[in-house]
Chain A
Amino acid sequence: MIESKNLSKSFGSTQALSDFSLKFEEHKIHAVLGENGAGKSTLMKLLFGLLKPTSGEIFIDAKKVEFQNSLDAIAEGIGMVQQHFCLVESLSAIDNIILGAEPCKNLVLDRDNALQELKAKLPDKSLHVPWHQKVSELSVGYRQRIEILKLMYRESKFLILDEPTAVLTPQEIKSFFALLLRLKEMGRTIVLITHKLNEVFAVCDQYHVLRSGNLIASGEVASATHSQLVKFMIGRDLQNTGLSQAPALSNDSSPSSKALVFAGVSTEQGVRGALKNISLHVMKGEILGVAGVEGSGQTKLIEALLRICSFEGRIKFLDYDISNESRTKEIRDMGLALIPEDRHTQAIWLEESCAKNFIIGIEENFQKNYFFDEEKIHAQTSSWQKEFSVKLQSLSQSISSLSGGNQQKLVFAREILGREPKFIICHQPTRGVDLGAIEKIHAEIFRLRNSGVSCLLISSELDELVSLSDRIYVLYDGKISGEFKRSDFSRDDIGRAMMGVTVEPSAGLSNEGSNGETSGALP
């Protein structure tokens, strides 16, 4: 049984975790809840030996322990699966599993023995994976299994899982929960780090809420309510209960023509997430959601539209055929706003000032003979900052000192106010963003849609897609495996489509087939 007493961790002057004291009861599934920056990851890294506490103690079965590194934690029976998997892509599944505890016979790796041992520790075949295949060739679902297999191989008794369902389809999530329950039966103690409240209620026994590095509340899930937990997490009530409801489509906004058309588009094959003869369209003034597991082609969709990867087929953006000659800059200047998936490497320039980040992509509006017009920059960016309430101390401070939510707001301000977009691509717009800011972002997407801006919303949060989109396409392996109108949204069907089971389109949809019937000609 793991217990921590007054555990604290600070990085320089930032206090990530303060005075955390808790007993994790054995043979239970615990949920550690909290917003970004609340201290969940720090706590887990401390328990797994990846970080050393600034003060405080950890006890395992009433015996004090001090972890020098994760090896010590593993030796005490603790195992962890991080949110971003720690796998070596060029090695096989079995190699990844035994890494660090490799059995050897006379200097040679004994893979067969390892495999036998591992299989013996598993309850049944449900956790089996293609053992000798390279991880780079395996799906996300298999990769997560491999991470869990690592813990099984080392017979970890205390399992820490960080946002494990972030990359799974609804069906996979159901089997994952079944697995957790079976592991609990086998005597394991499990800690789930999550922000998805419905999962807490589905499978967890106890909850522990962190906020700003402090343990705010702890208790039995059975006696808690949704709004109670939200209040613990953010310290106040949310205006809406959870995610925004979609306002009804007003009569006006019936889309009259198509803002974006993909006709028979394929990107370079053999690459993960390559598009295979895809055809889709986005109507003017609609929010089109794209669902799918990671690596199904979402990124290539955006890259093809931006012309930063090559493709075959035709793409028509705002009635203009961009398949042959258009350049990224031209396309963007036609009125394309982009909220990329990976903020730090695709949307902002971390080392630069906030002011300069506000003008990335639209610099030509701020120049006077090849030089920057500093006054104009200051004036304009100040007003944008106020309009979107981006919290910062000075426009010349580095953007890296802003919180994730504020950085995202800056990106939104830049893309929406800096251009006059007719089309906006939102790729995981609320990832890593606090609940309060999520509301605002959803509200902004609606406001845009109601003023006639089309939106391509790509997200792994099914709830977000379902509540915002007018239509949803599901991508699987570079093809469209399902298309759903708002009236037909069904999490089950969407989930099946995400796994590659093609779902018949309901009657009354456009004449583009959803499993790849395409024509090369533009509609």
Chain B
Amino acid sequence: MSPNEIYDFILSVARLGVPLIFAAYGGMLSERSGVANIALEAYLLFSAFAAAAATSIFASLWMGVLFGLLAAALVGVLFAVVCVYGRGDQVVIGMAFNLLAAGSIPIFNKALFSITGSTPALPMQLRMTEPLIFFGLALVFVLFLEFLFRKTKHGLRITACGENPMALMTQGVSYKKLRLRAVVEGSLIAGLGGIYLSLCQGSGYARDMAAGRGFIALAALILGAWRPLPTFLACLFFAATDAVQIQLQGKAIAGVLIPNSLIQISPYVVTLILLVFSSRRVLAPQAINKQVSE
């Protein structure tokens, strides 16, 4: 490969990695505080949609960003409340939120724009054209989260909350409030990923545009042992498989043309293989998806 191609590939990885990183970090805050979160897909979809819709309606990128973040926060609050106060299985609740996203977004779309599927395409001046800004932001988050968990009060409490909420209770800290806060903070971070998807990577919201990235982000979180730097690297790795997959579409390998439908699933296959062969049984936060008795 020529230097140009390598450079393009690296850029591609960075671009594809951004939504994964933000989604994974959104999940990290939630899961480390003890709330299992498989609704990352829903975060991405809702914030992507809200951002695109608002940009279209108000003809302003800033409104798009604002609404994207608001949508993410709203979903975060709802999810947190149902998980913490409903005391149900958080994995089931997460699936429900994913279904909610898949079901309600087309309806909102039809209500706002009278078409199902996508929001109106955004003209060039209403798009963010520099994806690397987002990637830079992602790098900042890597440093920030490492700092958060090692050296701040909030990070310490989140870690404690995910391992043994009773420890917090007996020291006078409400684990419920902490979990609510952590989940919402996480949803805001994940919202940045959604905003990126519809305002930067795409030209508006397209149906099911997250395409399973929320789940890959979850896999990256697990492989990264719920720690900021390893998770970042795992996200980049998955982004690389995605970049490779895109390159391979339509190209013949050893003279054989592999159909796109098979190439497109290669990132998932790679993820599966990695999960199978990562021999550490990585320990999730101990208190995850468990209820504290009252």
Please give the residue numbers on chain A whose beta carbons come within 8 Å of chain B beta carbons, in ascending order.
Answer: 48, 50, 69-75, 80, 82, 86-91, 95-96, 99-102, 104, 107-109, 150
Contact = CB atoms under 8 A, between A and B. Distances in A.
Dominant secondary structure of chain B at its interface with chain A? helix
A88 B160 contact: yes
Contact of A99 (B152, B168, B174, B286): B168
B171 A87 contact: no
A150 B171 contact: yes
Contact of A108 (B152, B164, B169, B172): B152
A17 B131 CA distance: 63
A109 B152 contact: yes
Given A86-B167, A150-B171, A91 B152 contact: no
A155 to B, nearest CB: 14
A101 B160 CA distance: 13
Interface string B266-294: 00000000000000000000100000000
A104 B174 CA distance: 19
A70 B163 contact: no
B170 interface: yes
A255 to B, nearest CB: 42
Contacts of B157: 99-100
A86 B167 CA distance: 5
Interface of B: 151-153, 156-157, 159-160, 163-164, 166-174, 286
Contact of B159 (A75, A86, A88, A108): A88
Nearest to B155: A109
Contacts, number: 69
A157 B153 CA distance: 26
Nearest to A90: B163
Q: Which 4 A-B pairs have the closest CB atoms?
A: A71-B172, A100-B171, A86-B167, A102-B153
A108 B148 CA distance: 9
A95 B156 contact: yes
A74 B153 contact: no
Nearest to B154: A107
A104 B170 CA distance: 21
A86 B164 contact: yes
A89 B160 CA distance: 9
A50 B169 contact: yes
A100 B167 CA distance: 9
A90 B173 CA distance: 18
A101 B153 CA distance: 9
A100 B172 contact: yes
Given A86-B166, A108-B152, A109-B152, A70 B160 contact: no
Contact of B164 (A73, A74, A88, A101): A88
Contact of B153 (A75, A86, A88, A104): A104
A100 B164 contact: no
Given A71-B172, A91-B160, A96 B152 contact: no
8 contacts: A69-B169, A69-B174, A74-B172, A88-B163, A88-B167, A89-B164, A91-B159, A150-B171
